[in-house]
Amino acid sequence: MIYLDNSATTQPHPEVVSSYIKVNEQFYGNPSSIHRFGEKASSLFVKAKKQCSDLSGIADCNVIFTSGGTESNNLAIKGSVHALAAKGKHLITTVIEHPSVLEVFKELEKKGFDVTYLPVNEAGVISLDGLKQALRKDTIFVSIMYVNNEIGSVQPIKEAGEIIKAQSGARFHSDAVQGFGKLPTDFDCLDLITLSAHKFHGLKGSGLLAFKKGLSITPEMIGGGQQEGFRSGTLNTAGVVALAKAMRLASESREDAFNRLSVYNQLLRRFFEGQNEVTVISSHNAAPHILSIAVPGLTGEVIVHALDQREVYITTSSACSSKLNKKSHVLSACGLNDQDIRGAVRISLGAMQSEKDIKEFIRTWQEVIPPLLKGVK
């Protein structure tokens, strides 16, 4: 098997799985209980929370543990906007955000908020001048993703943060789900950052929202008041310990992973640039773990299923929308024509990838895809 769909989800690291199992077996007490067994679980939770805070990318921050990127994005946006609504009604985001961001902004528009959607160039990157022009006195919240999940475009987060800070009092959030563990995430310019464990060899159903201390956030989940009232519900000690482990492993191996994945990306890029029937979509400045291409003579679904028969796994655009058979809003925003969009697939690499995987993928592609193209000519 060759798994190249790591932007959808990654294989959990064995040490992460081991940590999760150990805590569930030996420290399964409720951290909110006042007896010693509960206090042991609470001590583990507090230690893991400190580790996650230190590694999140925002210095001296608070952390809310969630079920993943979607919940964290919802909490970051709605929780901030509702807390700041008395100060203004203008919000800014980009046209290529993940649906867990875009759909929230669309919902807020229906509630009377004014949203500016920043366009992107053909490489999928916003214009900083466009951001400057979009900012207003009543702008209260800006959300710009770090790395796009479909094409790997990297936004100039640090420069955007400087502009936002200089021109407004708006709160700045970034969905960094696809960036953590692959690119640096030390952004003091951010007020809030979203992370999801299963994108960097952690476990599904585990994520966090890190934010600068002192920020007011209206909770979405209310109940027993856990996590300082920001997100009620019984604390998932094992999940948080496993998340901290995944973050530490990803941080420690980030530079090595970046270098290796850059090499693998170039191997793939050189191969596809030499194929007349293939269009390389991802720019040279994109994150190294994502390479999107298009085969205009085929549909992405045909390519995915053909490779699937050989146990080679890639996907069409993002996994969230591929089963819905929806046209990619990201590729449309980058100006691709309908034929390229229909024939687009995404190859995404993980930290556990080997050069052997890449070479085997190229060999399989050469055996499987050209015959399909002959069949449609």
CB neighbour list of residue 41: distance below 8 Å, 6 or more residues apart: 23, 27, 28, 29, 30, 31, 33, 235, 237
Two tokens, residue 238? 């094992």
SS (H, E, C) 221-281: ECCCCCHHHCECCCCCHHHHHHHHHHHHHHHHHHHHHHHHHHHHHHHHHHHHHCCCCCEEC
Q: Is 175 exposed, middle or buried (0-12, 13-18, 19+ CB in 10 A)?
A: buried
**DSSP symbols for 22-41:** HHHHH--S-TT--SHHHHHH
Two tokens, residue 286? 């994109």
* Cα end-to-end span (Å), the chain: 30
Of 242, 271, 252, nearest to 364 by C-alpha is 271
Residue 169 has, within 13 A of its CA and on its CB side, a CA count of 7
Of 219, 247, 223, nearest to 235 by C-alpha is 223
Active-site residue, from 61, 189, 320, 334: 320
Q: How many residues does the chain have?
A: 377
CB neighbour list of residue 314: distance below 8 Å, 6 or more residues apart: 4, 5, 303, 304, 307, 345, 346, 347, 348
Q: Decide if 320 is catalytic.
A: yes
Residue 65 CA, chain-centre distance (Å), reads 16
* H-helix or E-strand spanning residue 175: strand 171-175
Two tokens, residue 81? 């906007």
Beta carbons of 156 and 145 less than 8 angstroms apart: no
Active site residues: 320
